[in-house]
Structure 1
C-alpha cells in the first residue's frame, strides 16, 4: 500500500532536528502498520522497516510498543476533530444544519478512508486497545462527538430532523455507520466519491422530518 500523506498537526519540517523528523517518521509508520494489521498484529519490527530505522532505535523515542500505539490512537482522533472543525468553520453561515451534517459525512469519510492513516488506525482499533491506553483517546472522541451533536441539535431546532428521532441515538448510528466503512472499504472495488454520495443520501433520507420530505 502506498503511503498516505499525514495530516497530523506538528509534523516535522526540514528546519527541525533530525531527531524530531525521525520521531515523526516512526509515528507515521506506526499509524500505517496499525491501520493495516491492527493492534494485535502491529510489531515494532514492521514499524521499523516501514520507517526505515533499526528496531532498537524506536525505544529512544518511545518507551514501549504500547506508548507508541497510544500516541497514534490519540493523534488519529485529534486530527480528525481538527479537520472536521475546519470544514464546518469554512461552510457558509446560511447553510442549513442538515446540509452541514452532509458536509460532515463527507469530511469524516474522506479523512477516514483517503487522507490519514492515523484516523484509520484509531477507528479500526478503537475496540481493541486496552482500557489503560484509552484515556486521551476517549477525551478526543468526546470532543469530536460534540461537534456532531451541535449540528444535530441545530438541524432539530430548524425542523429538519424527524422529531420522533432521538438525536443522540441517531448521531451514534450515523457515526457508527461511517466508522464501519474503514472495515470494508477497498479502493480497488469502490470509489470514494460513490461511498460519500451513498452515505449522504442514506443520512439525509434517514434524518429528514416528514414535512421536509414533502
Structure 2
C-alpha cells in the first residue's frame, strides 16, 4: 500500500504551478530515497517518479545533494510537527506514561505508514556526508527534546523506574522505534500489532507501575527451607 505524502497545509490562493511541481519533486525524491538509499538515489529515478524530465529538477534544486538535504530535513521536521500535534490533542489530565504511549504510536505510524519523508530521513541518517546534515541534525535535536520532556515528566511524576538513566532510556527507545523502518513489512504483519507490542515493551520497560505489579505477582517464600551457604544453588555453581 503506497504511503501518503506528509500532511501539508492547504494551498494558498496564489499557490503557483512551480510550487506544486517543486513539492511533487520532493515527494518523488522521498519515495526513491526511502527505498534505494542515499547511494542508490538517482535524479533520473526521481524524475520518473515525479513524471517530469530529469533536467527540470535543476530549476528547483541546484544539485542532487541539495534535493536530498531538503528531503531529510522535511522528514524530521514533519515528524516532529505530527508528534507535537498529537500530544497537544490529548486531554489535559493525560498521565506521563499515557503521553509516552501516544508518542510511541505516532512515531511508528508516521514513519511506517504516513510519510516517505520520515522513512527516508530515518533510513539514511548515517549515510549522508556531514556537510549536508546541518539542518537535519538541528531538527533531530528538537525532536529529541520532545522525547526528553516526555521522559523527564514521567520521572518527575514518579512513573519512571528509579534504576533507569533517562537519557539512555530515551536513546534506546528511539533506536528501537527507528529500527522498525528496516524490518517491518506490511505483508508480514499488522502495523496495529507492531504499535501495541512497542507500547507494551516501552511501558513495562520504563514504567515503575509495571515493576510494582511484577513484584506483587511474585510467589511468597514464606515457609520455604532456605539453602545454607554450604549448599549453593545450581545457578551459582554453574556461573
CA contact (8 A) 2:4 2:113 kept: no
Q: Give the structure-2-normalised TM-score.
A: 0.86
Q: Distance in 2 between matches of 1:51 and 1:207?
A: 44
Q: Which residue pairs with 1:25 in the alignment?
A: 24
Decide whether aligned partners of structure 1 residues 158 and 108 sit closer, same or farther in structure 2, where only a CA change above 3 A counts: same
CA contact (8 A) 2:76 2:139 kept: yes
Q: Which residue pairs with 1:50 in the alignment?
A: 49
Q: Distance in 1 between matches of 2:141 and 2:71?
A: 17
CA contact (8 A) 2:4 2:114 kept: yes
The answer on 1:127 being equivalent to 2:126 is yes
Larger Rg: 2
5+ residue gaps in structure 1?
none
* 1:25-174 equivalences in 2 (<5 Å): 25-174=24-173
Q: Give the structure-1-normalised TM-score.
A: 0.95
Q: What is the number of residues matched between the two proteins? A: 213
Post-superposition offset of 1:15: 5.4
Decide whether aligned partners of structure 1 residues 14 and 47 sit closer, same or farther in structure 2, where only a CA change above 3 A counts: farther
Q: Distance in 1 between matches of 2:206 and 2:10?
A: 38
Decide whether aligned partners of structure 1 residues 132 and 177 sit closer, same or farther in structure 2, where only a CA change above 3 A counts: same
CA contact (8 A) 2:5 2:114 kept: yes
5+ residue gaps in structure 2?
217-239
| Over 6 Å off, 4+ runs | none
